[in-house]
Amino acid sequence: MPVASAATAALAARLAGRPGLVLERAAPLARLTTLRVGGPAELLVEARTEADLVFLLRTTHELAAPWFLLGWGSNVLIPDEGIPGVVVRLGEGFRRAAIRGTRVAAGAALALPKLALRTAAADLMGLEALAGIPSSVGGAVAMNAGCYGTEMKDSLVSVRLVEHDGTRRRLPYAALAPGYRRTNLRERRAIVTRAHFELTPAPPGAARARIEELRQRRRGALPTGHPNAGSVFKNPPGDYAGRLIEAAGLKGKRVGAAEISARHANVIVNLGGATATDVFALMLAAHHAVRDRFGISLDPEWVLAGALAARWREAAAAAGTPRMTDGEART
């Protein structure tokens, strides 16, 4: 990582005296991702409370310092050279949840599986299918995460967020225009801090039984034993990315220590020592093979962080495929 930019150095000086902000310079990011690849953050900042996050974003806005939000660390690819500017993480104050009747409020840094298990224990239904998604609540909100026919938008009523200039808002989830694995949070440059759900009462034990049923189903379909970041590509209309990649003959293909899983072709695994460059090369290989054989351009579900977003656009344009995921700066 190069010497900190003037904007980042000035930002660090402004933030250093605030107790609710934890700063780390040249912070390794691979350890914070489920794929275990990627370089360092120029400056990693953890905000412990919403007030601390407001202060952080106001300051980055004033100093025109770039920032990138890193949540659970799944569904993201960090480049080997790392991320310039500030990488933001949400701390302990964002990991709480409250249940009142059928209404549930959850902090953005709370693990989505933990929230699903907690609501199931309260005999509330609505989040069972999401219990196997390795995401924070905030990351799931940002991409309208879904599985087994259930999406966040099905039970999510409203969100509390902080805009890029530090302004706090509470909005109905519909205002974020949730679609298939996307919302407009990218365009808003906003960070979700809390999510409000309306769930359905369930017979005793029914929600927990459904979670276990889906857990067994998921365990039989997805690779285990090696780090991965979940589904690489969105499913195209009427088909499945994994089926297309497998049909293109790429199941088990390796570049360096990265492999298109022999168990599920829409998952790339780190066999040990893989680099982001290895993983990115496999993404391009899968994309081009499916395009050449089926005429379908697969759209990344992963967030391509830092310079990887531009690299993907360039590669896709060179291949005659202009589409790319809207997620360039969040997970």
How does pLDDT run across 166-223, given as a tens digit for each residue? 999 999 999 999 999 999 998 999 999 999 999 999 999 999 999 999 988 877 677 7
Q: Which of 105, 32, 97, 16 is nearest to 68 (CA)?
A: 32
The answer to whether residues 261 and 223 touch, using CB atoms and an 8 Å cutoff, is yes
Establish if 88 belongs to a structural domain.
yes
Establish if 219 belongs to a structural domain.
no
Q: Cα-flanking dihedrals φ and ψ of residue 324, to 5°? A: -155, 155
Establish if 192 belongs to a structural domain.
yes
Establish if 165 belongs to a structural domain.
yes
Domain shared by 177 and 263, yes or no: no
Classified as helix, coil or strand, 272 is coil
Q: How many domains does the chain have?
A: 3
Establish if 112 belongs to a structural domain.
yes
What is the per-residue pLDDT for 220? Answer: 65
What is the per-residue pLDDT for 201? Answer: 97
Domain shared by 104 and 197, yes or no: yes
The CATH number covering residue 246 comes to 3.90.78.10
Tell me the pLDDT of the chain (331 aa) as tens digits.
444 678 788 899 999 989 999 999 999 999 999 999 999 999 999 999 999 999 999 999 999 999 999 999 999 999 999 999 999 999 999 999 999 999 999 999 999 999 999 999 999 999 999 999 999 999 999 999 998 899 999 999 999 999 999 999 999 999 999 999 999 998 999 999 999 999 999 999 999 999 999 988 877 677 778 999 999 999 999 999 999 999 999 999 999 999 999 999 999 999 999 999 999 999 999 999 999 999 999 999 999 999 999 999 998 777 664 343 333 333 3
Domain shared by 137 and 189, yes or no: yes
Establish if 256 belongs to a structural domain.
yes
What is the per-residue pLDDT for 320? Answer: 61
Domain final residue pick, 46, 62, 93: 93
Helix (H) or strand (E) holding 52, with range, is: helix 50-63
Domain shared by 300 and 258, yes or no: yes
What is the per-residue pLDDT for 223? Answer: 75
Domain shared by 45 and 105, yes or no: no
What is the per-residue pLDDT for 327? Answer: 35
Establish if 331 belongs to a structural domain.
no
Phi-psi label, residue 125: left if phi above 0, alpha if psi -120 to 50, beta otherwise: beta
Strands of the chain, DSSP E:
21-28, 40-47, 67-69, 76-77, 83-90, 97-100, 103-107, 124-125, 146-147, 150-151, 156-162, 168-172, 191-198, 200-201, 254-255, 258-260, 268-270, 303-304
The CATH number covering residue 31 comes to 3.30.43.10
Q: Domain residues for 44?
A: 6-93
Say what the pTM is: 0.89
The answer to whether residues 197 and 151 touch, using CB atoms and an 8 Å cutoff, is no
Q: How far apart are CA 3 and CA 325, in angstroms?
A: 31
Domain shared by 205 and 256, yes or no: no
Domain shared by 118 and 168, yes or no: yes
Active centre residues (catalytic): 181, 231, 301
Distance of CA 174 to the CA centre of its chain: 20
Domain final residue pick, 46, 63, 93: 93
Structure tokens at 7: 């904007």
Distance of CA 330 to the CA centre of its chain: 6
Domain shared by 112 and 86, yes or no: no
Q: Which of 155, 156, 158 is nearest to 202 (CA)?
A: 155
Domain shared by 194 and 240, yes or no: no
Establish if 1 belongs to a structural domain.
no
Q: Which of 195, 214, 198 is nearest to 124 (CA)?
A: 198
